[in-house]
């Protein structure tokens, strides 16, 4: 009697079982936000564009310290750029705001353990980090003195492409493993997709702008 071939169905079952163990081990190492992003990618059936616009993701993104710092810095730059207009205004300014810039989340090393690390940086080709809202200025003193800019109804959109970032060894390793696992499980290959995550400020953001030093301030010329 001949021995059963080890290259047939039994071998395939062992390979598939091993792939399932590897998949679950990878998923266990992730937080719930990383898993949600990963599962859509690994499943291979995600639509071309996915939008997360819900309380779960809003609170998660609003709590990311790097994003908070970057947004605050950009608003401070915008507030400073209003100086000449504020100096020429008798009643303050009110207008809409629309900023776009590169945003960074998570650790410098990237990786896949947290949703922040999976996202890591925005992608310019799909919109980077978009910031929109309204601003109002208030100056209690004469031109050249300090003023306040209040930003309201702020909305943020983190735009990225979920794919393998070849700059990070952890991403490359995960991508190679995911491809092998999908093949072993007879599943479709992982599929890249555009991800847009939206969140909003809980309340107004206030930015104080220092006054111009007295010896360098010259009142703006007015046209009558």
pLDDT value, residue 205: 97
pLDDT value, residue 48: 96
Which residues, other chains included, contact 17 with Cβ-Cβ below 8 Å and sequence gap of 6+? none
Burial of residue 33 (CB within 10 Å: 0-12, 13-18, 19+) is: buried
Collapsed DSSP state (helix, strand, coil) of residue 64:
coil
Which pTM does this prediction carry? 0.80
pLDDT value, residue 50: 98
pLDDT value, residue 158: 98
pLDDT value, residue 189: 77
pLDDT value, residue 163: 85
pLDDT value, residue 183: 66
- Residue ranges for the chain with pLDDT beneath 50: 1-8, 11-16, 18, 215, 220-224
d(CA 41, CA 23): 13
Please give the structure tokens belonging to residue 132.
């929109």
Alpha-carbon separation of residue 42 from 45, 129, 164, 175 (angstroms): 8, 25, 11, 9
| Strand pairing category for 193-200 and 49-52 | parallel
Please give the structure tokens belonging to residue 24.
């679950």
* Cβ neighbours, 10 Å, residue 73: 11
pLDDT value, residue 179: 67
Domain ranges across the chain: 9-212
pLDDT value, residue 68: 96
pLDDT digits (tens, 9 = 90+) for 162-185: 986 666 555 656 666 666 666 666
DSSP 12-30: HHHHHHHHHHHHHHHHHTS
- CA nearest 194: which of 42, 47, 60, 53? 47
Instruction: Identify how many contiguous H helices and E strands the chain contains and give both numbers.
Output: 7, 6
């Amino acid at each position: 009697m001949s021995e059963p071939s080890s290259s047939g169905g039994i071998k395939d079952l062992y390979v598939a079982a091993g792939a399932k163990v590897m998949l679950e081990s990878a998923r266990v190492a992730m937080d719930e936000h990383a898993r949600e992003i990963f599962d859509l990618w690994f499943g291979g059936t995600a639509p071309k564009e996915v939008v997360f616009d819900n309380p779960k993701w809003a609170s998660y993104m609003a709590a990311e310290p790097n994003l908070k710092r970057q947004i605050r810095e950009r608003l401070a730059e915008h507030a400073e750029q209003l100086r000449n207009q504020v100096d020429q205004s008798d009643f303050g300014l009110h207008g809409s705001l629309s900023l776009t810039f590169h945003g960074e989340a998570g650790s410098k090393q990237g990786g896949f353990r947290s949703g922040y690390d999976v996202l890591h940086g925005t992608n310019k080709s799909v919109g980077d980090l978009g910031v929109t809202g309204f601003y109002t200025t208030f100056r209690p003193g004469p031109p050249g003195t300090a003023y306040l800019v209040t930003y309201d109804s702020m909305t943020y959109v983190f735009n990225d492409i979920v794919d393998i970032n070849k700059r990070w060894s952890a991403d490359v390793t995960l991508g190679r493993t995911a491809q092998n696992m999908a093949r072993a499980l007879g599943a479709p290959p992982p599929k890249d997709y555009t991800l847009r995550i939206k969140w909003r400020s809980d309340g107004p953001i206030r930015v104080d702008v220092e006054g111009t030093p007295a010896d360098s301030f010259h009142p703006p010329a007015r046209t009558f």
